[in-house]
Structure 1
Amino acid sequence: MRDPIPPPRTLINLTNPLARTLSLRTLPLHAHEILPSFTLYTYLHSSLIPFASRHLFPQIYPSLAPRTKTAWNARAVSLLSSCVLNTAALSVIYLDRERWAMGPRGRVWGYTGASGMVQGFAAGYFLWDLAVCAGNVEVHGPGALMHAVSALAVSLLGFRPFCNYYGLNFVLYELSTPFLNVHWFMDKLGMTGSTAQLVNGIALVATFGASRLVWGTYQSVRMYQDMWIAFEAPGGLPVPPWLALAYVVSNTTLSVLNFYWFGRMITTLRKRFEKPSNEDDEKGTKE
């Protein structure tokens, strides 16, 4: 399936030298998706979202601490981006018949323009995410920075092309992101512990567990199996050890972070909605 957004020839010519240097052969075909998405998210984060938030939430947003405003702006971009990426990835996975016909070698070395389009949008977002996390580590934390580095590496390696098939499947990690960000915004909007937050929390746990833990682990195992087949294929195109290692390390980092965040998420949600015990009630009464 072709990329439905044709690349401009001028941009292809401009990015070819960089692509040859980095051995990312299909990168010039999708630079027109990476650069505009990076630019758009930068504009949203620095200008449009702060402007809109001041007008939509005049009693809340201006009174937030600078660190919280930074997190608010970034989470708003993350919310919008995840909706776009989820829609694009699900559409291509469903419609791209070339992907459906791929065997193990195709899933490791194959490429379709439509999959590259989604990876281009993802790379633009993760490039922006890396810049924001690196510039605000004290706000977003080292875990978010590690996630941005690993996700960008997986996205860019898809332009070699390498595991372009699986890179698109891993984009579906973002299915849980809208619920995660809505949960955070509910806290800031005075909806902590509300029924709406409980419903959103259930959806968050369900989508996070299904997309990142179950789906992500299943896709990782399948990817490792296909890599091994590519290694052993006689007369085929072997996987360079450094390339397999880079992809495996990046993907494993994402998987470890997902399991770690899931544990923290369960703990946080339990604190939000657990009723205090009788002993706690009595203690509170005495105090």
Structure 2
Amino acid sequence: MSHVVSAADSLSALSSRLDSAIQAVFDPMHLTGVGAYWRVVLVSLIVHVTIFKAVPIVTRLLMLRAYEQMSDGDKRSWDICVLALLHSAFDAAFIIAYFNNPALNGDKMGGYNEQFEYLLATTLGYYVWDLSICLSDYSNYGLMYLIHGGLGVFGLIVLTSRQLQFYAIPYLLPELSSVFLNIRHLLKYAGKANSLVYKVNFLLFLVAFISIRVGFETYHSFYLALDVYQGNTGNVFYPFAVYFAILGVTLTALNLIWLRQILNAAYYTLFAGASKRTKEAQARKDE
């Protein structure tokens, strides 16, 4: 028993020293969340890795034939999409729960909610995992995905440091549209790209993308940029306010670029197939 107690004491002492070392590095950088939540992030990362490893096992139990017919690349993409779907659903759920939180809405720069901060630290574990995927498979993902993953990790580190927590809402609520996007990918891998479910899901994705990403996110990005320009940043570390303002403008530009691509995809998904069948039917009738 004494050996167990001694080991526990040693582990506790090591953890305390690690706390001190992390805080000494990040606290002067106004990133106190790293020291406060590194254990939460680590546990979250382990959970996400475990789920990722379990996805192929569960998929084989539920749909062995369809899964085995996929190429190795599609299997890996399927596994990633399943975890991304679970993550986006989790993010969207807790963001919606805090949508009208008085503490956050009352002070968009310095509003603080401890439980909300804890949930943000939990979701940071996913973004660390996502960044590791981009690094390990860089040839497939490329620089843009790597930058996107890095920006997400840094942004959440700032949000867990009692700064700009409100802006987790407009910047993470778009995960709701990602729910439908990931379902779309999964249906495609499962060979259901021509099904009614696929088309209905794509329509829901289109509505969510336009209303949330192009509408809600753009609206708050504009007013954040305006506040930063006017110096209305309260007690927030000013460079981080600037960072989030630039991030919002960048996301708005990307969303508008993606919207054009999505509208083109919407035409082929919702209308082109029906138009093709009509022409084929007319051709048979003429014969």
Given the alignment, which residue of 103, 106, 126 partners 1:101? 106
Task: Look up the equivalent residue of 1:145 and give its one-letter code.
Answer: L
Q: Following the alignment from structure 1 to structure 2, what is the Cα–Cα distance between the partners of residues 31 and 40?
A: 14
Retained in 1: the 8 A contact 2:184–2:201?
A: yes
Retained in 2: the 8 A contact 1:134–1:145?
A: yes
Q: Give the helix-richer structure, 1 or 2.
A: 2
Larger Rg: 2
Say if 1:215 and 1:188 are closer, same or farther in 2 by CA, change over 3 A.
same
How many angstroms does 1:179 deviate by? 0.6
Deviation string for 1:119-177 (max 9, x for gaps)?
21232221111111222234445443332222222212223433221123311010111
Q: Following the alignment from structure 1 to structure 2, what is the Cα–Cα distance between the partners of residues 249 and 161?
A: 19
- Answering whether residue 252 of structure 2 is matched by residue 255 of structure 1, we say yes
Q: Which residue of 2 aligns with 1:5?
A: none
Shifted more, 127-136 versus 73-82: the winner is: 127-136
Q: Following the alignment from structure 2 to structure 1, what is the Cα–Cα distance between the partners of residues 237 and 172?
A: 23
Q: Following the alignment from structure 1 to structure 2, what is the Cα–Cα distance between the partners of residues 252 and 153?
A: 17
Q: Following the alignment from structure 2 to structure 1, what is the Cα–Cα distance between the partners of residues 236 and 114?
A: 23
Q: Which residue of 1 aligns with 2:219?
A: 218
Q: Which residue of 2 aligns with 1:184?
A: 185
Q: Following the alignment from structure 2 to structure 1, what is the Cα–Cα distance between the partners of residues 59 and 74?
A: 13
Shifted more, 187-196 versus 141-150: the winner is: 141-150
Task: Look up the equivalent residue of 2:162 and give its one-letter code.
Answer: P
Given the alignment, which residue of 16, 23, 44 partners 1:16? 23
Say if 1:119 and 1:48 are closer, same or farther in 2 by CA, change over 3 A.
same
Given the alignment, which residue of 46, 60, 72 partners 1:54? 60
Retained in 2: the 8 A contact 1:111–1:164?
A: yes
Q: Secondary structure at the match of 1:109?
A: coil
Question: What is the percent sequence identity of the aligned residues?
Answer: 18
- Answering whether residue 39 of structure 2 is matched by residue 42 of structure 1, we say no
**What TM-score do the two structures reach when normalised by structure 1?**
0.80
Retained in 1: the 8 A contact 2:222–2:248?
A: no
- Answering whether residue 56 of structure 2 is matched by residue 28 of structure 1, we say no
Aligned pairs, number:
269
Task: Look up the equivalent residue of 1:247 and give its one-letter code.
Answer: F
Retained in 2: the 8 A contact 1:133–1:140?
A: yes
Q: Secondary structure at the match of 1:191?
A: coil
Say if 1:164 and 1:40 are closer, same or farther in 2 by CA, change over 3 A.
same
Gaps of 5+ in 1: 1-7
Q: Following the alignment from structure 1 to structure 2, what is the Cα–Cα distance between the partners of residues 72 and 112?
A: 35
Given the alignment, which residue of 268, 271, 274 partners 1:271? 268
Q: Following the alignment from structure 1 to structure 2, what is the Cα–Cα distance between the partners of residues 268 and 125?
A: 28
Task: Look up the equivalent residue of 2:252 and give its one-letter code.
Answer: S
Gaps of 5+ in 2: 1-11
